[in-house]
Amino acid sequence: EVQLVESGGGLVQPGGSLRLSCAASGFTFSSYWMHWARQAPGKGLVWVSRINNDGSSTSYADSVKGRFTISRDNAKNTLYLQMNSLRADDTAVYYCAREGSGIAPPFDPWGQGTLVTVSS
């Protein structure tokens, strides 16, 4: 069974840092591009970041560029999101998702999410 399990969320003060992890299983992790997306409480989905299969190429939403870093360890089948200079508006459930194949690939599956709360 293909599975993605996020961890690392929690309460952090404004200006603080947090590293999220996403453990993958049930598929060849090193063959897939991966993404992070987030959802603020009661709000919609927002794409955050993307990384290619070997980690050599990344992209970010403007709202997190320069503050967040996506990375991966294919030996550990794990995706990461390092979040620095956190702000209150970064409060959200963060999901990792696998990018499908083909043209305009969809996200499938998604992890269960991990909640990040930025507050003093």
Partner 1 sequence: SYELTQPPSVSVSPGQTASITCSGDKLGNKYACWYQQKPGQSPVLLIYQDIKRPSGIPERFSGSNSGNTATLTISGTQAMDEADYYCQAWDSSTVVFGGGTKLTVL
* Residues composing the chain: 120
From first CA to last CA, the distance across the chain in angstroms is 40
Which of 35, 83, 90, 116 touches partner 1 (CB under 8 A)?
35
CB of 62 to partner 1, least distance (A): 8
CA distances from 75 to 46, 67, 72, 115 (A): 28, 26, 9, 26
38 part of the interface to partner 1, by CB under 8 A: no
Which of 1, 56, 62, 66 touches partner 1 (CB under 8 A)?
62
Cβ distance to partner 1 smaller for residue 39 or 91: 39
Q: Are 47 and 39 in contact (CB under 8 A)?
A: no
The distance of Cα 76 from the centroid of its chain, to the nearest Å, equals 16
CB of 104 to partner 1, least distance (A): 4
Which of 50, 64, 72, 116 touches partner 1 (CB under 8 A)?
50
CB of 78 to partner 1, least distance (A): 18
**CA–CA separation, 90 and 115 (whole Å):** 10
- What residues make contact with partner 1 under the rule CB under 8 A? 35, 37, 44-47, 50, 59, 61-62, 95, 100, 102-113
